[in-house]
Homo-oligomer: A and B are copies of this chain.
Amino acid sequence: MARLTMDDVESLRAESEPMLMDIATYSLSDSYKSQHCNKKPQSKSMVDHFSIEASNFRGSALKRTAKQHFKSRLIPLGIGRPIDDFYPWESIALKESFTLPQSSHTIGLNPNVNTIAKRQGLFNLSTGLNYSHSVGQQPLLRFITEHVEIIHNPPYRDWSVCLTCGSTSALEIALRMFCNRGNAVLTEEYTYPGFISSTQLLGVQTVGIRMDDNGLIPEELARTLRTWDDSTGSRPRVLYTIPSGQNPTGITQSLERKKAIYQVAEEYDLIIIEDDPYYFLQATHQTMPNTNAIESYISHLPPTFLPLDHSSRVIRLDSTSKILASGLRAGWVTSSNEIIEKFISYQEVGPLAMSGPTQLMLWNLLDAKWGHRGFMAWLEHLSRQYRARLDIVLEACEKYLPKDVCSWKPPDCGMFLWIQVAVEKHSEFRESGFKVADVEERIWSRACENGVQVTKGSLFNAAASRPSRVSFRLTYAAADEDELDKGVKLFANAVREEVGLERVE
């Protein structure tokens, strides 16, 4: 089926209505989607999945007023938005550190404009430092909508995007939208601790599903749902999953795996919260012969849950934290209009909108300077950097870790290496009973004493029961490249000391 590509964006924009940058102008993604979307079927309603809180809530009355359109400009004595004379900033100038490769040059709208002035240009301080609609300021929302269509292309017509204040915020909103206190949520057996914390706050139970080398096991998911004991609470209707470079295991679900999971989700009518911040950090990508690096990178990107989402049950969370900068507190959520509108209602009474300076920085970089091809060039570059770091870490693991007790699988994606430590295999532990938590704590403390910080596997444990194996998460994102080898060695020595092996030097 025909779909939007990077090359079509210029003509798509040229054929669209001009963008009105009035403060009060409000638009969902629909204005920025290609005509290909109109040929797709309508989404399936998921309103019966909304929590009690979400069902009862219609959003902010004042914000609804602010969205009204008027034929001509009115003198604004209505909304308390100070005029731009009352912002003490005149301009923001941004200098980027990444030089686009030749193949991606001159595709941004205006690659030479470094300075965002108060009143000049499409998106300026006057708009950017004023209140933003929750959905996001239009020039950035347009870019992100195009990006989602180019990369993910959901198979139904009425999808849209809302800019978020980062995926931690978006995830909490998604959980509140679909879960009542006392409900249970399905997830990988090891998962993102921020998700676990959120569920604890909301009084929602997490149910960890076993994983193999391809991630969450669909048969285990189906079994859990099939054999659910209703006396322990109602059967879960939400699956939270991190499909690429999973945190903490580093595992990426294959396409077949995703399809099988989706099928279970359809059978048991689950909402899928797809949290995918590591998606673009592709470690195994290699540039194919006779192809340029960017095209090769894009063609290598695996399908996410969005293109598989024929029954519109996926709410996908993207984040800039791992691909641009975590301090931006920025991301976007993609789902059906019905779900996105509810999401916007929540955001309106909470964090409200992505911060203005962040929106300006992202727009200036992505839309004005880089364009879609430049963004992909950056992501390809970043993936190569991560690949080089991963290679160092894997080599160090081979050199230093005791292979009779440590096991790991090289990740295809992301920034995490998951190391399982089968201490029970080692003679010292054979006879005596031991507690996973104690061993984990001792290895972790030794690692700290040795001079390396790693993260205990138990922090990621989604099940109510204690983990049965000792494991650690190592990241190669945060250390200097020349510290990675040493870091792994110091960790390896902590393990070696624990199981009574000789240190490596």
- A: residues with CB less than 8 A from B are 53, 56-63, 65, 70, 72-83, 85-98, 118, 128-132, 165-166, 168-169, 172, 193-194, 196-198, 200-203, 247, 321-322, 324-330, 345-346, 348-359, 361, 365, 378, 382, 385, 415-416, 448, 451-456, 459, 473-480, 483-484, 486-488, 490-491
Contacts and interface: CB of A to CB of B under 8 A. Distances in A.
Given A202-B53, A351-B350, A77 B459 contact: no
A119 to B, nearest CB: 11
Contacts of A94: 89, 91-93
Given A81-B477, A322-B82, A74 B451 contact: yes
Contacts of A353: 329
6 contacts: A57-B201, A72-B451, A77-B476, A88-B378, A131-B326, A168-B349
**Centre residue among A94, A118, A327, A356 by max chain B CB count within 10 A:** A327
**Centre residue among A82, A172, A448 by max chain B CB count within 10 A:** A82
Contacts of A202: 53
B75 A453 contact: yes
Contacts of A172: 349-350
B169 A88 contact: no
B355 A82 contact: no
Contacts of A491: 77
Copies of the polypeptide in the assembly: 2
A169 B490 CA distance: 42
A129 B325 contact: yes
**Centre residue among A196, A203, A328 by max chain B CB count within 10 A:** A328
Contacts of A361: 89, 92, 357
B74 A448 contact: yes
**Centre residue among A88, A90, A352 by max chain B CB count within 10 A:** A88
Contacts of A415: 80, 82
A146 B8 CA distance: 53
Nearest to A175: B349
Given A169-B351, A476-B77, A479-B75, A382 B86 contact: yes
A57 B131 CA distance: 32
A130 B326 contact: yes
B92 A61 contact: no
A97 B475 CA distance: 43
Given A129-B326, A328-B356, A477 B203 contact: no
B194 A83 contact: no
Contact of A76 (B79, B327, B348, B478): B478
Contact of A416 (B80, B357, B484): B80
Given A196-B61, A453-B77, A327 B356 contact: yes
Given A80-B415, A330-B355, A350-B351, 18 more contacts: A53-B201, A56-B203, A63-B197, A74-B448, A74-B452, A75-B452, A75-B483, A78-B473, A80-B247, A82-B322, A83-B477, A83-B479, A90-B97, A92-B92, A97-B118, A168-B351, A325-B356, A329-B352
A83 B193 contact: no
Given A93-B93, A200-B56, A382-B86, A62 B194 contact: yes
Contact of A328 (B59, B81, B129, B247): B129
